[in-house]
Structure 1
Amino acid sequence: MRMMIAVLMSLATPVAAQDWKAQPGDTAFDPAALTERLSGQTLVFFDDGQSVFESNGQYQYTYGGGGTWYGHWEVTADSTFCVTFVTGVERCDRIVENDGRLVLQTKDGMRFPVREERAHQEADT
């Protein structure tokens, strides 16, 4: 969990400057496919952390032990999405599929497989 906290608190570099380290079997998404795949979904990681990608662009990351970061998400290019948190911190990560499982990859090459994908129940506004 500490590793995920450190990852979330780090600042992202511009997407163009990123050198994503692909693993054998990684399949990237084009922007439209990644937007469709994430929109309205909750991704649950193996440490019980959860990323919520609301269809209106709102984003929440809740740590497995509690505590939530709020922000706004958008897909850029090269299977990458960026989140601007309410604190003003922005970070970009890459989502790939490998052997039927989504994997979140950080700019420094750390990989976090998704344990479960589920439709997010969005509140009526």
Structure 2
Amino acid sequence: MLKWLAVGLCLATPAVAQDWQGRSGDQGFAPEALQAHLSGQMLEFFDGGQSRYDADGSYLWSYAGGGDWYGSWEVSQDSTVCVTFVTEVTRCDRIVQNDGRTVVLTADGQRFPVRRMLAQ
């Protein structure tokens, strides 16, 4: 249990006062457009991890090599999507497009291009 708490704390990021590490060419989404872009999609990353944004608001993060985190997702302002996990930990990421590719920006400055999007 302590292991999951430590992981959850690492995933937690406040939804305010974030300095997204954007790059030239990053284009954000309006809230309605981001909802439509993610709803019913599975995002597969280059490390093999996957984020699944179900149309009913449920969310699943699957680690490459095993391990799942369940929660619910909702779109916020500034091209941001927030996930509240079943552990009650919340994290928010900024989703942008750059040169036709979807990219996830984390609050701690990481950048994760999406390898491919799969409709569910």
Amino acid at match of 1:108: D
What TM-score results when the alignment is normalised by the length of structure 2? 0.90
Q: Is the 8 A contact 2:43 2:118 kept in 1?
A: yes
Unaligned runs of 5+ in 2: 1-6
SS in 1 for 2:37: helix
Displacement, 1:69?
0.1
Q: How far apart, CA to CA, are the structure 2 residues paired with 1:50 and 1:18?
A: 24
Q: How far apart, CA to CA, are the structure 1 residues paired with 2:77 and 2:20?
A: 12
1:40-63 CA deviation, whole Å, 9 max, x = no partner?
A: 000000011000000000000000
* Residues 1:13 and 2:14 aligned together: yes
Equivalent residue, structure 2, for 1:47: 47
Q: How far apart, CA to CA, are the structure 1 residues paired with 2:23 and 2:91?
A: 21
Unaligned runs of 5+ in 1: 1-5, 121-125
Displacement, 1:7?
8.9
Displacement, 1:9?
3.3
By percentage of residues, which structure has more strand?
2
Equivalent residue, structure 1, for 2:24: 24
Equivalent residue, structure 1, for 2:91: 91
State the 4+ residue runs in structure 1 displaced beyond 6 angstroms. Answer: none
Displacement, 1:13?
1.1
Q: How far apart, CA to CA, are the structure 2 residues paired with 1:91 and 1:29?
A: 18
Q: How far apart, CA to CA, are the structure 2 residues paired with 1:7 and 1:69?
A: 10
Amino acid at match of 1:11: A
Q: Is the 8 A contact 1:8 1:91 kept in 2?
A: no
SS in 2 for 1:9: helix
RMSD after superposition: 1.5
